[in-house]
Amino acid sequence: MFIRKSTSIIATVILAVMLIAVIPLLVGCGGGTTTTIKEAGSTTVQPLAEKLAAAFEVDNSNITVDIQGGGTAVGITSCNDGTVDIGAASRELKSSDPQLVTYMIARDGIAIVTQPSNTVTGLTKQQIRDIFSGNITNWKDVGGANANIVVVAREEGSGTRTAFQDLVMGANVSITTRAILQLSTGAVKTTVSSTPNSVGFISLGFVDSSVKALAVDGVTATEANAKSGTYPIIRPLYFLIKTQPTGDIKKFLDFCTSDEGQSIVTEEGYISIN
């Protein structure tokens, strides 16, 4: 009797050990193992990246793409130090930046926006420069109402601010220290839409009925004009990689630049690279 019980216990233990060894294999065969790709950076790129990631995951259920914001400076630093797999930048990399591999996923116009009720419909680049530097402080000086201009801008380190600085302000003209600074493109849009007599700059892809995009040098701020090159304030949107990508990361990047990925770019109001 004792021998039979011992044999039974031993058999039970062996069966349990076998099950423990086999279960992970069964889970793996069922597609339970997933890979996570981490991305962070430009808040301009963030909503587009989220759409691209969601579409990519439909046909790649074993890959999760985790999208975060933080700004272009965060994207560059996090990519370079390995905190994330992919960084996002809404400007060209400078010689002072870490030299990362760039994948252009879209182009984007920078829109100059006011409240819809503002009677000004367009500005020249020089007028924009004078407003954001503080040389012009009243809307009446550019054909509007007699009201002080409230300047809204992005914080230092923002890719949108750097691109605006390069494309509009120039190397020797700074944004006024009286500007209200915001940490994201969405926050700039919200502030402008809720602040009378304000003006700000945001991604063209963020423009909606809550703000009015002004014409620049006589050219309206539309996707068609940005794509044709007639709208004068255009910048690239990049995914950043520390080294040449392979495996799942390359698969995701290839999807972003594919016809399917670029159709999402267009649907979201950005400019396709194709």
Secondary structure of residue 113 in the 3-state scheme: strand
Classify residue 175 by burial, with Cβ atoms within 10 Å: 0-12, 13-18, 19+: buried
The 10s digit of each residue's pLDDT in 2-36 is 444 444 555 454 444 444 444 443 333 334 578 99
CA neighbor of 204 nearest in space, from 266, 123, 133, 154: 266
CA neighbor of 52 nearest in space, from 66, 62, 33, 70: 66
Predicted pLDDT at 199? 98
CA trace torsion 47, 52, 54, 59 (10° rounding) = 180
Predicted pLDDT at 2? 43
List the structure tokens of 13. 């233990």
Tens-binned pLDDT, residue by residue, of the chain (274 aa): 444 444 455 545 444 444 444 444 333 333 457 899 999 999 999 999 999 999 999 999 999 999 999 999 999 999 999 999 999 999 999 999 999 999 999 999 999 999 999 999 999 999 999 999 999 999 999 999 999 999 999 999 899 999 999 999 998 999 999 999 999 999 999 999 999 999 999 999 899 999 999 999 999 999 889 888 899 999 999 999 999 999 999 999 999 999 999 999 999 889 999 8
Distance CA 274, CA 225 (A): 16
Distance CA 263, CA 260 (A): 5
Dihedral (CA of 229, 208, 151, 188) sign: negative
Predicted pLDDT at 33? 75
Give the fold, CATH level 3, of 109-234: D-Maltodextrin-Binding Protein; domain 2 (3.40.190)
Give the fold, CATH level 3, of 35-107+237-267: D-Maltodextrin-Binding Protein; domain 2 (3.40.190)
Predicted pLDDT at 229? 87
Secondary structure of residue 20 in the 3-state scheme: helix
Predicted pLDDT at 32? 58
Predicted pLDDT at 274? 83
| Residue range(s) in the chain whose domain bears CATH number 3.40.190.10 | 35-107+237-267, 109-234
Predicted pLDDT at 29? 35
